[in-house]
Amino acid sequence: MSPLQAAPVVEREYDPEIKDMADFIHNYKIESDLAFDTARLVFLDTLGCGLEALRFKECTKLLGPVVEGTVVPNGTKVPGTPYQLDPVNGAFNIGAIIRWLDYNDCWLAAEWGHPSDNLGGILAVADWISRTNRAGGNIGQGKVLKVRDVLEAMIKAHEIQGVLALENSFNKVGLDHVVLVKVATAAVTSKLLGLDEKKTADAITQAWVDGQSLRTYRHSPNTMSRKSWAAGDACQRAVNLVLKVLKGEGGVPTVLNAPGWGFYDNLFKGNKFKFQRPYGSYVMENVLFKVSYPAEFHSQTAIECAQIINKKLAELGKSAKDIKEITNRTHEACIRIIDKQFKAMDNFADRDHCVQYMVATMLVFNRLTAQDYADGSEAATSELLENLRQRIKCVEDPQFTTDYHDPAKRTIPNALTVTLNDGTVLDEVVVEAPLGHKFRREEAKPEILAKYKRHIEGHFDAARVKHLLELGWNQKELENTDVDKYVDLYVTDKIVAPY
């Protein structure tokens, strides 16, 4: 070979984990009616949660274009706002409002997370593609996408995030679960943008090699509002990386397994991912809805227990003032994440991730709303609530922890035992599967629609609300609606006034 001749390029083999994800994205056909029906409910619920977040100025201050007044031609429109942005910033905006109130869906396993966070990137990209192609562009094969395309992308994003979470604990190595949002969003938006299987693999590797978020903003002493926009950040990073691959940037084929320099050796203590099951539609079919309360999901059944206890107290002529102490028999993840019996409640982020605060709020006020977490709120300033909070202790029940991880159950059990000041011990109240669990899905459906209706009513007139409800409850018509035309139904001239 002449010294001037270039050596032949050797095609490197991709990590099998990367190949499996890319293969799933491009070659697996979603045929489950249950998955599409559940995805429709998740879609509506997630958009409603995003609209409700616009009531909070801490959220809205982060939204809009980087340069005030910028309107991107054929750009992504952000529901509930007048903003029209590039797809990267659009992904952050939509992702941030979705996650702000911790009220969208949930997946609990070795790793926790909220798979509908991926809608931030999916909807931003799908809307931008559709508007651009309608105007004569040619992105993602030139198609104007349908809502069904969004639902399919959601099912596959849920599956990637959820299957990776089943056996692999990122929190135990200090990483936040939004790494999985970044990976899943990169995977599904790659296909929407017309990348082939190899380029999708490249985009997935770029998501893995990207710097990953530390969980410290979710835990004392650093608990703060970044936890509410971390998923939006993951969505915008994913879309940004995919667009770089779309322009010709390559991938990092052995990003996970490279000795010494890969993800496993540097960020996963040398361990490789374990897989409980192949990719399909399992996660969407089994995902958990937060129906009743805007609360971290490990607390949902505890709050249901507290609501039942309120009725018992009323029958006895008693109230929260008569409670001496409470024992919460629970599962290990609840203790590890939200057991903060004696930790000071410094801000919104502390309160919505403290099982004692949430249970005490229900017992004192017989309610739990997002406003109850705000600084200066009636709940946050209640001496009775704060005193009661510090008299609620958590103890692990190993069987509850086993049931939490059991693929056939996946319950999130809590059980409260109340002792009154006069020595009376009330019968323990146990709730194992919260409203919104697959075991209670049919019971939850009317409540999911009611929740969505509450969240959209403050933003639109009665005619628009009626139209959105009717369209949302008609699976076939919704799926056949053009994405950009559907998003237009959520556009407003200004953001709603805060609470």
The confidence score (pLDDT) of residue 5 equals 57
46: in domain: yes
Q: Are residue 307 and residue 240 in the same domain, yes or no? A: no
Percent of the chain with pLDDT over 90: 90
Question: Which amino acid is present at 355?
Answer: V
* 205 located within any domain: yes
The tokens for 413 are 């059990």
What is the H or E stretch that residue 395 is in? strand 392-396
> Does residue 1 have a pLDDT over 50?
no
Short-list 132, 155, 256, CA closest to 206? 256
Amino acid letter, residue 143: K
* pLDDT tops 70 at residue 7: no
pLDDT of 242 over the 80 cut: yes
In a domain, 375, yes or no: yes
- DSSP-derived letter for residue 367 is -
What is the tally of structural domains in the chain?
2
Q: Do residue 262 and residue 343 come from a single domain?
A: no
Please tell me whether residues 320 and 202 are part of one structural domain: no
The pLDDT tens digits for 440-497 are 989 999 999 999 999 999 999 999 999 999 999 999 999 999 999 999 999 999 999 9
The token pair that represents 363 in the structure block: 């017992």
Evaluate whether residue 104 is within a structural domain: yes
Asked whether residue 268 falls in the same domain as residue 316, the answer is: no
Domain housing 336: 297-434
- What is the distance in angstroms between the CA of the first residue and the CA of the last residue of the chain? 73
CATH of the domain at 147: 1.10.4100.10
Q: Select from 264, 289, 314 the last residue of a domain.
A: 289
Spatial CA neighbour of 351 closest among 378, 393, 327, 380: 380
Average pLDDT over residues 423-441: 94
Do residue 283 and residue 385 come from a single domain?
no
Question: Which tokens belong to 70?
Answer: 């910028």
* Claim to verify: residue 306 and residue 415 sit in the same structural domain: yes
Q: What are phi and psi of 290, to 5 degrees?
A: -90, 100
The mean pLDDT of 156-160, rounded to a whole number, is 98
Q: Which residues contact 463 (CB under 8 A, 6 or more apart)?
A: none
- Lookup: tokens for 466: 């009626």
Mean pLDDT of 69-92: 98
Total length of the chain:
499
Residues 265 and 310 in one domain: no
- Stretch 2-18: mean pLDDT: 72
Could you tell me if residue 10 is inside a domain? no
Higher pLDDT, residue 10 or 255:
255
Residues 209 and 258 in one domain: yes
Distance of CA 328 to the CA centre of its chain: 26
Residue 329 lies in a domain: yes
Q: What is the DSSP string of 286-333?
A: HPBP--S-SS-GGGHHHHHHHHHHHHHHHHTT--GGGEEEEEEEE-HH
* Average pLDDT value for the chain: 95
Within a domain: 499: no
Please check whether residues 283 and 301 belong to one and the same domain: no
The predicted pLDDT at position 9 comes to 52
Domain end call among 256, 289, 322: 289
Bridge partners, 84 (sequence order): 77
Asked if 136 and 222 sit in the same domain, the reply is yes
Unique residue bearing structure tokens 């879609």: 43
> Phi/psi at 446 (nearest 5 deg)?
-60, -35
Q: What is the CA radius of gyration of the chain?
A: 23
- Asked if 99 and 132 sit in the same domain, the reply is yes
State whether 146 and 250 are in the same domain.
yes
Residue 93 lies inside a defined structural domain of this protein? yes
Q: Which of 378, 402, 434 is the last residue of a domain?
A: 434
